[in-house]
C-alpha cells in the first residue's frame, strides 16, 4: 500500500491532469500485479483501434466525435495463468467526477471500445476489459485447459479492472471518483449482477440488461431448442417461415393489451396455438408442418428435468419469433458455438462433444455444481450491495429471442423474496420490461432509453425511476415514444390520444 501511494503521489507531481498534462506519466504508475502498457494523449476524434471491433460495421463508428482523452492500456496478472487486459479512458476536460465501466457480450475476448464512447462523451472516466482472453463472442475454446481464464471470464476480470481503474482515476485527477457505475447487457448484465453479488463495494449503481446470469441453464435451454428443431427431419423451421409465424402471433394477441401496434405489452398473457398455422395442404412458407408445430410448442415451453419435471429454465415468449433466425434457425446441423461452448469446453472438455447427447438430468446436476457454474450470478442475496446505498436497474426485452425474458423476472422475484417482498425492494432494485424489444436492442419496440440518467438520479438525488421514456427510430427518425414501467406495472393506454406519444399511457398494475 505504501508503494502504491508513493507511486500515485509522484505521478500527481508530474502535472495537471485537468488539462491533459501528465497523461503519459501514468506509464510510471506502479500497481499490484499490473503493467501499464500504454498511456497516451488522444486528440478529439483521433482514436482508432488497432483492429476493428468484431461486432461493429466498418467505418469511423462512434469514435469520430469523441473528445480529447487520456488512453491507458493495462495488463493485469492476478494469478499464474491469468492475463487480463483492459483500458481506462480519462477525459481531459469536463470530467464529471464519476466512473462508469461497461460490460461485454457472449464470450467476448476483446475490449468494447464502442461501448466506452458514450460514457466518455458524457464526461465519465470509463473502462472495459477483454475478460481475460482473446476471442469472439461465440468462442469459448479459451477455457479448455485454462481454468484461470475461465475464472477471469466468470468474475475476476471485471473486478480487477474496476479496482485498478479507480486507482488510475485517482492518480490522474488527484481525487477519487465521486460515484462508480456499471452498465452492460447480456454477458454485461451478468457481469453487473455478479459484481453486486460478489463485490458489493465496487459500484454505487448498476445497469444490468437482459442478463445471461444463469449460464448453465441458459445454455441448456438453447441446446434443448436446437434438439427440438432437429428431433425429426421435418422439425427444422427455416427463416423464411418466421415472418408468417410472427404475424400469426400478433394477429392472435396484439390487440389484447388495448392497442394494436405490432408489439405485445405483456406476452405472458398471449395464448397462441401454433396449430393455427398448420399447413392444410402442401408445405409452404406461410404455414407449419406438423413437426414444426411441435417444435414451436417446445420453444415456447420451459425446459424441464425429464425425471423430476422441475423447471430448469423458462422458454421463449410469443412475440420473439422474428428474431429466432439469429440463434435458432440458420444452422441446420449444429447450433451456434455460443450455445454449446460451456458444455464443449468447460463441462465435458471435449471439442467434439455432440449437443444431441446432453442429458438434462445428470449432466445438468454436474453443470450446476461444477466449474461451469462459476459463471452463474444467481444469488438472491444483494443485501450488502443495498446496505451501501447501491441501486440496481435491470431491463429486458419482452421479445428477446436469445435469453428468455422470464429469466429476469425469476431473478427479480428471487431477490424480492430474499429482501422481504417487492415493496421493500422498490427503493433499491427496479426491473423494466421492454415491449417488442429484441436482445438488448432492436425489434419492433421502443428500444432506445437513457438508463444511465435514471440511475444517476436515483443514486445521487434519491429520485427512484417511476418510469423511463423509451423511443423507437425508423428511417433515422423517432416515430414512437412510450414509458417503460417498473415491473409488474405495464404501460396502459388511456383510451385517447396518439398511441405513439407517451402522454397517452400511464403505468398501471394489471
* CA distances to 47, 335, 473 from 61, in Å: 11, 30, 18
Question: 3-class SS at 160?
Answer: helix
Residues 6+ apart with CB under 8 A from 475: none
Cβ atoms of residues 217 and 312 within 8 Å: yes
Residue from 65, 170, 157, 173 nearest 112 by CA: 157
| Three cell numbers written together for 124 | 465519465
Asked about 447 being catalytic, the answer comes back as no
Output the CA torsion 34→37→39→42 (10° steps).
-130
Question: Would strands 69-76 and 34-42 be described as parallel, antiparallel, or unpaired?
Answer: antiparallel
Asked about 138 being catalytic, the answer comes back as no
- Identify the active-site residue in 130, 254, 400, 444: 400
* CA distances to 26, 44, 227, 242, 243 from 485, in Å: 44, 38, 36, 29, 28
- Identify the active-site residue in 439, 444, 447, 504: 439
The half-sphere exposure of 348 on its side-chain side, counting CA atoms within 13 A, is 16
- Identify the active-site residue in 117, 183, 186, 336: 186
DSSP bridge partners of 413: none
3-state secondary structure 345-379: HHHCCCCCCCHHHCCCCHHHHHHHCCHHHHHCCCC
Output the CA torsion 483→486→491→497 (10° steps).
-30
Asked about 186 being catalytic, the answer comes back as yes
Catalytic residues, which ones? 186, 400, 439
Amino acid at each position: 500500500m505504501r508503494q502504491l501511494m508513493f507511486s500515485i503521489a509522484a505521478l500527481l507531481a508530474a502535472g495537471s491532469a485537468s488539462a491533459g498534462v501528465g497523461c503519459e506519466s501514468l506509464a510510471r504508475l506502479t500497481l499490484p500485479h499490473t503493467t501499464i502498457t500504454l498511456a497516451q494523449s488522444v486528440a478529439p476524434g483521433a482514436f482508432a483501434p488497432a483492429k476493428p471491433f468484431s461486432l461493429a460495421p466498418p467505418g469511423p463508428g462512434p469514435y469520430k466525435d469523441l473528445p480529447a482523452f487520456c488512453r491507458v492500456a493495462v495488463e493485469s496478472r492476478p494469478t499464474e495463468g491469468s492475463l487480463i487486459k483492459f483500458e481506462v479512458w480519462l477525459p481531459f476536460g469536463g470530467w464529471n467526477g464519476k466512473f462508469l465501466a461497461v460490460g461485454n457480450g457472449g464470450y467476448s475476448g476483446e475490449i468494447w471500445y464502442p461501448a466506452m464512447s458514450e460514457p466518455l462523451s458524457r464526461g465519465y472516466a470509463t473502462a472495459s476489459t477483454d475478460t481475460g482472453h482473446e476471442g469472439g463472442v461465440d468462442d469459448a475454446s479459451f477455457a479448455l485447459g485454462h481454468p484461470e481464464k475461465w475464472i477471469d471470464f466468470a468474475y475476476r476480470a471485471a473486478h480487477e479492472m474496476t479496482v485498478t481503474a479507480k486507482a488510475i482515476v485517482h492518480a490522474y485527477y488527484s481525487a477519487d471518483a465521486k460515484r462508480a457505475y456499471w452498465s452492460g447487457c447480456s454477458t454485461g448484465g451478468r457481469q453487473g449482477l455478479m459484481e453486486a453479488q460478489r463485490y458489493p463495494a465496487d459500484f454505487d449503481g448498476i445497469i444490468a440488461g437482459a442478463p445471461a446470469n444463469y449460464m448453465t441453464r441458459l445454455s441448456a435451454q438453447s441446446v434443448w431448442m436446437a434438439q427440438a428443431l432437429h428431433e425429426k427431419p421435418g422439425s427444422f423451421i427455416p427463416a423464411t417461415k418466421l415472418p408468417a409465424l410472427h404475424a400469426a402471433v400478433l394477429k392472435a394477441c396484439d390487440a389484447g393489451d388495448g392497442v394494436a401496434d405490432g408489439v405485445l405489452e405483456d406476452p405472458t398473457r398471449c395464448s397462441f396455438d401454433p396449430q393455427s398455422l398448420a399447413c392444410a395442404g402442401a408445405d409452404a412458407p406461410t404455414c407449419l408442418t406438423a413437426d414444426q408445430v411441435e417444435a414451436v410448442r417446445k420453444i415456447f415451453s420451459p425446459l424441464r428435468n425429464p425425471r423430476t419435471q422441475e423447471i430448469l429454465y423458462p422458454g421463449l415468449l410469443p412475440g420473439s419469433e422474428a428474431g429466432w433466425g439469429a440463434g435458432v434457425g440458420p444452422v441446420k446441423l449444429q447450433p451456434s458455438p455460443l450455445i454449446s461452448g460451456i458444455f464443449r469446453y468447460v463441462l465435458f472438455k471435449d471439442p467434439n462433444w455432440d449437443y444431441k447427447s446432453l442429458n438434462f438430468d445428470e449432466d445438468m446436476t454436474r453443470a450446476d455444481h461444477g466449474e461451469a457454474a462459476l459463471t452463474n450470478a444467481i444469488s438472491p442475496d444483494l443485501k450488502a450491495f443495498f446496505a451501501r446505498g447501491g441501486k440496481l436497474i435491470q431491463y429486458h426485452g419482452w421479445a428477446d429471442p436469445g435469453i428468455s425474458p422470464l429469466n429476469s423476472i425469476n431473478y427479480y422475484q428471487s431477490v424480492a423474496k430474499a429482501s422481504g417482498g417487492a415493496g421493500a425492494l422498490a427503493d433499491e432494485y427496479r426491473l423494466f420490461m421492454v415491449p417488442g424489444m429484441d436482445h438488448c436492442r432492436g425489434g419492433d419496440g421502443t428500444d432506445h432509453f437513457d438508463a444511465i440518467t435514471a440511475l444517476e438520479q436515483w443514486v445521487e438525488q434519491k429520485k427512484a425511476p417511476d418510469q423511463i421514456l423509451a423511443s423507437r427510430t425508423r428511417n433515422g427518425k423517432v416515430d414512437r415514444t412510450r414509458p417503460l414501467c417498473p415491473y409488474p406495472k405495464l404501460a396502459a393506454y388511456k383510451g385517447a390520444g396518439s398511441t405513439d406519444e407517451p402522454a397517452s399511457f400511464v403505468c398501471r398494475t394489471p
